[in-house]
Amino acid sequence: PELSEEPPAEMVKMTKSKTFQAYLPNCHRTYSCIHCRAHLANHDELISKAMQFFLMQSFQGSQGRAYLFNSVVNVGCGPAEERVLLTGLHAVADIYCENCKTTLGWKYEHAFESSQKYKEGKFIIELAHMIKDNGWE
């Protein structure tokens, strides 16, 4: 009798593939998800606090203070929607940790006021959802 190379259909197991996770270099200070420790951002991608002071604002999320980043890793993005925030009307999309699916903050898709255009394409992550890793004193 010939041997079949494929198992019968009733024996095939479907497995969920693990979400790809980017790892930031250990030589840089990083921020990670407080819930699952997935890397989220390199400290170098944090928008300067000096710029925030110059603009006379700090960032607020729904659960308190938040940081604005140029880029992030290991996050998924929901659909964009218009929201009135403290600084006016914006189109934003919620972002979540790809590993544990916790909502972390949002991405600025569009700013309707010219003074807020610098936020477009940037990411807000609430401090309540992240922890400092690698080289912090």
The CATH number of the domain holding residue 78 is 2.170.150.20
Query: Does residue 84 sit within a domain?
Result: yes
What pTM does this model have? 0.74
Query: Does residue 47 sit within a domain?
Result: yes
- How many structural domains comprise the chain? 1
Query: Does residue 11 sit within a domain?
Result: no
Contact 114, 87 (CB under 8 A): no
Domain housing 103: 30-133
Residues 14-62: pLDDT tens digits? 334 445 577 766 667 899 999 999 999 998 899 855 444 444 445 655 6
Query: Does residue 106 sit within a domain?
Result: yes
Residues 51-66: pLDDT tens digits? 444 444 456 556 668 8
Contacts of 94 (CB under 8 A, 6+ apart): 77, 78, 103, 105, 106
Query: Does residue 103 sit within a domain?
Result: yes
Query: Does residue 18 sit within a domain?
Result: no
Query: Does residue 125 sit within a domain?
Result: yes
Query: Does residue 7 sit within a domain?
Result: no
Contacts of 18 (CB under 8 A, 6+ apart): none
